[in-house]
C-alpha cells in the first residue's frame, strides 16, 4: 500500500443551513471564520425530496469568496446541467452514479470543463460503484444520511464504507479527497476522520449560534 501523507482535515460548511435571506453575508462569514471549501447542495425535487438552488444562485455567490465551491449535484438527469454550474463558478462538481446513464462519460465531461470531478455514494450505494472510475476522479463523497434535508442523524454503517474507500484511494497513490456529509458534529466528525475522511461537510454544526460562533464551530469540527 502507498504511504499516505497526513492531510489536514478540510471543513466545507453546507450553505443549506445558512440564512437564505443573507446568503452572500453568510458565505463571507464562514470564509472569514476559516472554512476551507463552500459546500453547495443542489436538489431538484426529483432525485431527492427537496428543492434548493440553481446555477444563478451559485453565480451570485461567486464574488463573495475565493474559496472553492464544492457543488453537490443531487439532480437527475445530470448531464444537461454540468455546463451551467461550471460556468456559474463551481470548482468541484459531484454527481451520483444513479443520476445518469453513463457515469464515466459524465466524469469526462466535468474534467473537460476544467473542473474537479466527484462521485457521491448514498447510504445504500456500495463502494464498488467506484471500481472503474476511482482513478479518474478527484473526490469521493460518502453520504452518511439519505440526501434531501439537513439536520439528520449520522448513519454509523457508513463508517465501514469510508474505511473501504480510504483503502482503495490509498492504493491509487493519488490525492483523491474523501468527503463525508450528513449528521456531522464534533463526535461524528472524529469518527469519520478516524475512518479515513479528510473533508467534512457540516451544515447545522457550522451555522449554529450565528456568525460570531462560526470560527469556534469550524475549529471544533476540525479537532483544533
How many domains does the chain contain in total? 1
- Would residue 181 show up in a list of annotated catalytic residues for this protein? yes
pLDDT, one tens digit per residue, over 126-135 is 999 999 999 9
> Which residue in 213, 145, 177, 144 sits closest to 68, CA to CA?
177
pLDDT, one tens digit per residue, over 49-104 is 899 999 999 999 999 999 999 999 999 999 999 999 999 999 999 999 999 999 99
Residue with cell 449528521: 183
Q: Which of 36, 44, 138, 181 is catalytic?
A: 181
Asked if the structure places residue 83 within a domain, the reply is yes
Mean of the pLDDT values across residues 45-50? 92
Query: What's the confidence (pLDDT) of residue 3?
Result: 45
Asked if the structure places residue 4 within a domain, the reply is no
Asked if the structure places residue 78 within a domain, the reply is yes
Asked if the structure places residue 1 within a domain, the reply is no
Residue with cell 469568496: 65
- Residue 1 predicted with pLDDT over 60: no
Asked if the structure places residue 188 within a domain, the reply is yes
Q: Which of 36, 41, 44, 138 is catalytic?
A: 41
Overall pTM > 0.85: yes
Asked if the structure places residue 5 within a domain, the reply is no
Range of the domain at 207: 10-222
Asked if the structure places residue 105 within a domain, the reply is yes
- Would residue 19 show up in a list of annotated catalytic residues for this protein? no
> Helix axis angle, 186-195 relative to 214-222, nearest 10°?
40
Asked if the structure places residue 2 within a domain, the reply is no
Q: Is 151 annotated as a binding residue?
A: yes
- Residue 150 belongs to a domain with what CATH number? 3.20.20.70
Q: Is 76 annotated as a binding residue?
A: no
pLDDT mean across residues, the chain: 95
Amino acid at each position: 500500500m502507498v504511504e499516505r501523507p497526513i492531510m489536514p482535515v478540510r471543513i466545507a460548511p453546507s450553505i443549506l443551513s445558512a440564512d437564505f435571506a443573507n446568503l452572500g453575508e453568510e458565505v463571507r462569514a464562514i470564509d472569514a471564520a476559516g472554512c476551507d471549501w463552500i459546500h453547495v447542495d443542489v436538489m431538484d425535487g426529483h432525485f431527492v425530496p427537496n428543492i434548493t438552488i440553481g446555477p444563478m444562485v451559485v453565480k451570485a455567490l461567486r464574488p463573495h469568496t475565493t474559496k472553492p465551491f464544492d457543488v453537490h449535484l443531487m439532480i437527475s438527469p445530470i448531464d444537461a446541467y454540468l455546463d451551467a454550474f461550471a460556468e456559474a463558478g463551481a470548482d468541484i462538481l459531484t454527481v451520483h452514479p444513479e443520476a445518469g446513464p453513463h457515469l464515466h462519460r459524465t466524469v469526462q465531461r466535468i474534467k473537460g470543463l476544467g473542473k474537479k470531478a466527484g462521485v457521491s455514494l448514498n447510504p445504500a450505494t456500495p463502494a464498488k460503484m467506484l471500481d472503474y472510475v476511482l482513478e479518474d476522479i478527484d473526490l469521493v463523497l460518502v453520504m452518511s444520511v439519505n440526501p434531501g434535508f439537513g439536520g439528520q442523524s449520522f448513519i454509523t454503517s457508513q463508517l465501514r464504507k469510508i474505511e473501504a474507500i480510504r483503502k482503495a484511494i490509498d492504493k491509487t497513490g493519488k490525492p483523491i479527497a474523501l468527503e463525508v456529509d450528513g449528521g456531522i458534529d464534533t463526535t461524528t466528525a472524529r469518527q469519520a476522520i478516524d475512518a479515513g475522511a479528510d473533508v467534512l461537510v457540516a451544515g447545522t454544526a457550522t451555522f449554529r449560534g450565528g456568525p460570531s460562533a462560526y470560527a469556534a464551530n469550524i475549529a471544533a469540527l476540525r479537532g483544533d
